[in-house]
Amino acid sequence: MIAKMNFGKTGHESTRIIFGAAALGNVSQDDADRTLEVLFQYGINHIDTAASYGDSEIRIGPWMPQHRDKFFLATKTGDRSYKEAKDSIHRSLDRLKTDKLDLIQLHNLADVIEWQTAMGPGGALEACVEAREQGLVRFIGVTGHGLSIAAMHLRSLGAFDFDSVLLPYNYVTYQKEKYQADFEALLKTAKEKNVAVQTIKSIARRPWGLEAHHTANTWYEPLTEQADIDKAVQWVLSNPQVFLNTAGDIHILPKVLEAASKADYNLPQSEVAISELAAEREMASLFV
């Protein structure tokens, strides 16, 4: 069984595993519909997509007329200006075939100049707040990649009362001293403010090699063996404060969900045997 916990201050009890719908970006509707059945099989009740995830919103849209009440539905806008973000939100509502989003997120807000634009007058944040006031969205979050993003999220939480953050979190990346310090500081602030913490790249192995044969629909090489995924997922879920957003491949998805269904949610992170896995699989951080 996959555990649930409060998604920050939203009042929603989300599964600790959130479906990362980038996996639907370039699949057929039939494949997407089969993926929906997998989500139902494991009781997943939270979907995270984005306007920039290919056809993801279009693939999710046909599910909503019948299943909208079964999911906390989140998407993202990568636009930085008020007008562009407003257009993006309305386009997402149309593509997702819903009249309300549970969560709109400022996508990959990592660059300082882009941050100033999005958070400033006439910026994307104003469009998100307006949409919330109009009842088109319920909550507002911020996401990002890279080794500086935990610190940037701290800056964002200091400037606005966001409901959620999203950022990379896996064993190898966490070993980087500065990132670990920033991540822990972010967790502390998120706990104080009751902000949901979503994590990505849980099963990342390393960047694709120049001559690698890409065996998964992810921009990095993922772990693929069930036993390896079990350990990587267990390590993330042993942190009781975070959610795990699944990788962008529908064929790896069942393995991640199976790992989560077997995970010991009370196991201390220090007791998860993952350092040997990192060495054996030559795991490397995706970010430098």
Q: Provide the whole-model pTM.
A: 0.97
- What's the whole-number mean pLDDT along residues 24-28? 97
The reported pLDDT for the residue numbered 8 is 98
If pLDDT is split at 50, 70 and 90, which confidence band does 21 have? Answer: very high
| Beta strand 137-143 pairing with 72-77 | unpaired
Q: Is the pLDDT of residue 24 over 80?
A: yes
To the nearest whole number, what is the mean pLDDT of the chain? 97
Q: Is the pLDDT of residue 213 over 80?
A: no
* Domain spanning 4-280, CATH class: alpha beta
The reported pLDDT for the residue numbered 223 is 97
What digits encode the pLDDT tens for the residues 33-92?
999 999 999 999 999 999 999 999 999 999 999 999 999 999 999 999 999 999 999 999
Q: Can you give the residue ranges of every domain in the chain? A: 4-280
Contacts 24+ apart (CB under 8 A), 186-190: 186/150, 186/151, 186/153, 186/154, 186/157, 187/241, 187/242, 189/154, 189/157, 190/8, 190/157, 190/165, 190/241
Amino acid at site 53: Y
Amino acid at site 177: E
Q: Is the pLDDT of residue 214 over 90?
A: no
The reported pLDDT for the residue numbered 288 is 84
The reported pLDDT for the residue numbered 196 is 99
The reported pLDDT for the residue numbered 210 is 75
